[in-house]
Each structure stands twice: as C-alpha cells, then as structure tokens.
Copies of this chain bind each other. A is one copy, B any other.
Amino acid sequence: MAGEMQKWVLMATAQTPTNIAVIKYWGKRNEDLILAINDSISVTLDPAHLCTTTTVAVSPTFDQDRMWLNGKEISLLGGRYQNCLREIRSRATDLEDEKQGIKITKREWEKLHVHIASHNNFPTAAGLASSAAGFACLVFSLAKLMNVKEDQGALSAIARQGSGSACRSLYGGFVKWVMGKEENGSDSIAVQLADEKHWDDLVIVIAVVSSRQKETSSTSGMRDTVETSMLIQHRAKEVVPKRIVQMEDAIKKHDFAAFADLTCADSNQFHAVCLDTYPPIFYMNDTSHKIISCVEKWNRSAGTPQVAYTFDAGPNAVLIARNRKTAAELLQRLLFHFPPNSDTDLNSYVIGDKSILQDAGVQDMKDVEALPPPPEIKDKVPSQKCKGDVSYFICTRPGRGPVLLSDESQALLNPATGLPK
C-alpha cells in the first residue's frame, strides 16, 4: 500500500455450507469464548441447496467496517462479530496482489476497514442454522482475503466465537467439534471425521414446519438450560461422551442402524433438557411430533431404521434417509401425510434436489392426491391429512466444506465501489 490514498478495492468471495448436528451441542461453559459443555458431531449439508455466500473487501477508501446481510445493512458492533474480526486481523499476513499492484503488510491490515456482504440461498428466518453458515463464511472469506496462513482447525476456533455450531461448517462431510480443555479455547476446534464422499448414500429431507410461535433463541435457551436443568450436566458428562464414541464408530462403518438410533435419541434428549429447563423451552410442536411418529412407525415396521430424524432449536425436521430409494419412499410418506395447501405449487413445495421427487413418482398434485397410505398404517389411516402444517420440503445430501469462488460475477460487492451490487 503506497503512502497516498488509492482507490483500489481488494475482494474475496466464499461459499460455506450449513450443518445439522446429529449429536447436539447445547450448553456453554464459557459464554464469551463460546466453549461447549460437550463434544458434538454434525453432517455438513450440500451448499447447492443450503449455503451462505459472503464477499469481503478492503480498501483504503473505506472509513469503517460495514456489513450487509441479504441486502440489508446490519451492525457489526456485537461482541461476536468483533471477536471474529479481531482474531482474523491479528493473523493477517503480508499480501501482494500482482495483478492489481497492491501490497499490504501485516501491520497495515490492522488499519484497513472491511466491507462484508452475505447472502443465504434459503430463508434466513426458517430456523435452518443460518448463523452457522454465516459466521463460518465470514471467517473463511476474511482469512482468504487477509492471507491468513492458519489451518481450518484454527479458523474453526475463530468461527466458533461467532456462533458455536459455525466451527463445524469449516469442513464438509462428517465433523466433530471437540469441546477442548483449555481455558482460552485454543483446543475447542472442529475436526473432520470423514469427507462427504465417505458415505454418499445418505439423502436428507428437511421439512420446514409452519409455526406461529416465536422461538427462544438458542443463545438464551442454552444459558437457561445450563442454569436451571437438573439433567443437563448428567447428559453432558455421562451420556454424550459415550454417544460420541458410538457415533464416530457408526459413521466410520456406515452403520446406518446405529447412526439413526443415536441421531434420534440425541435429538430427543436435547429437546428433553429443553423441557427440563425452567421455564420450559418447547422447540418441537404437534407437527414435529407427527413427523416423528410417522418415521418411528415406519422404522418399527421395517425392522431396521430407514430414516433418522433430528430437530434443532425449532420445529423443522431434518430427516436422513439411508439411501435414495428410502428417500423417495420417505417423500411419498411425507407428501401423503402433509400435502401442500391447494394454492401451493408442487414445484415450490419440494425444493432442492428434485430428482428425489422424480424417484418418488410424483410429478404433480394429482400424483400427490393419488398416493396410497404407507403399508405400516394401512389399518389406521388418519381421518385427516395435515394440509398446510409443513411450509415446504428441501431435498439435499451431505456436502462439501467452504470454497473460494474465483468467478468475480458471483461477488456480492461491486469491485469498483466495495458496496453491495
């Protein structure tokens, strides 16, 4: 960077996946550093269907740090953003961009302001862990921009300070967040257990459940649980450590039965400790319960698990099918029980990987109406279908970790002004 004011803007754009925990993170031992009271394990979701794209830029012309989320400017004053920005800046290294003729030294990074534009390819308010993908993408893209040389593990520890579960979005496939022991959180990082190709049979269907209730934020919810639940410490100290070992083993061996049993039981236990919180926290609603019943009946009649379910801090169901065939059968069951409202287009009711819908033999609303009751309930078909209880379904699969997008057309900031396009 020369002494005189220059007009250049240096940018980096990255895409980062969201993830769904199969062994849940719930409860912090340190609120500021975001250190968990137990390990957790997640599956990274295919960014083709659920991801955050973030462009970060620096320029000597920027006079403050600014951020836009889904086109709207938001404040960066919160401690979580400040922690991430500070940690990344402190690790910036000398950079030379020959094409643009820009040189930035380690010391100069401290004085340069950043512009950040972030966009989710899914509804932010739908309770689909947008903060995990968002903070992971912020940290990853800033690290690339600022020539940070640390490995993904170190970056995950920074993303963790933005949102705990964000650390797991630094990798694709199957990821463990190791809670760590250090006071300063340096060993509380994500590690990849296996990449997304390791177990590519799995298909994931997310039911976005309609809800009128305002949900408790996970930050305040887990704080209340740690303060008031008489069961959470037993869960964190006695139950989860064993499940982590078993889950790692199930993933390693592609043991779907063990994977499903552990996933479902741990989701249920997470919601159990929420209920044991005072005042109690309810994230699942009657629709969530019906989806669980539907899956449980099927799994029982099949003799071995076909589908696992897991629910985060909201009523949405994340359903993991053992393979494509099972996923198509799952979608048939879901559409039988939860058909779209009559004014809803099937094309917008099942989104993501639509080939699953084809496998299910469902092309239009007539096919939905013609779906037979699943064999496991044929003697007691419900008198009423639950129209409108699900907003839409997203079909996806385990996916890759963060990537840098080199195509400048995908950037969210204007390369000339550094402002949102």
Contact = CB atoms under 8 A, between A and B. Distances in A.
Interface of A: 212-213, 228, 230-231, 234-235, 238-239, 261, 264-265, 268-269, 271-273, 275-280, 282, 285-286, 289, 292, 296, 300, 384
Contact of A276 (B212, B268, B384): B268
A227 to B, nearest CB: 13
A272 B275 CA distance: 5
Contact of A269 (B231, B264, B296): B231
Contacts of A213: 289
Nearest to A214: B380
Contacts of A235: 230-231
Contacts of A275: 268-269, 271-272, 275
Given A239-B230, A275-B275, A286-B286, A268 B292 contact: no
Contact of A280 (B230, B268, B286): B268
Given A230-B239, A286-B285, A292 B280 contact: yes
Contacts of A230: 235, 238-239, 265, 269
A102 B230 CA distance: 59
Contact of A265 (B238, B268, B278, B296): B278
A277 B300 CA distance: 15
Contacts of A265: 228, 230, 276, 278
Main SS at interface, chain A? helix
A8 B319 CA distance: 67
Give me the 10 closest cross-chain CB pairs, A-B, nearest first.
A272-B276, A272-B272, A272-B275, A234-B234, A279-B296, A268-B280, A230-B239, A286-B286, A282-B289, A231-B231
A390 to B, nearest CB: 15
Nearest to A300: B279
Nearest to A285: B286
A289 B212 CA distance: 13
Nearest to A231: B231
Given A230-B239, A231-B231, A269 B279 contact: no
Contacts of A384: 212
A300 B279 CA distance: 10
Contact of A264 (B238, B278, B300): B278
B286 A276 contact: no
B268 A278 contact: yes
A347 to B, nearest CB: 30
A95 B213 CA distance: 64
Contacts of A276: 265, 268-269, 272
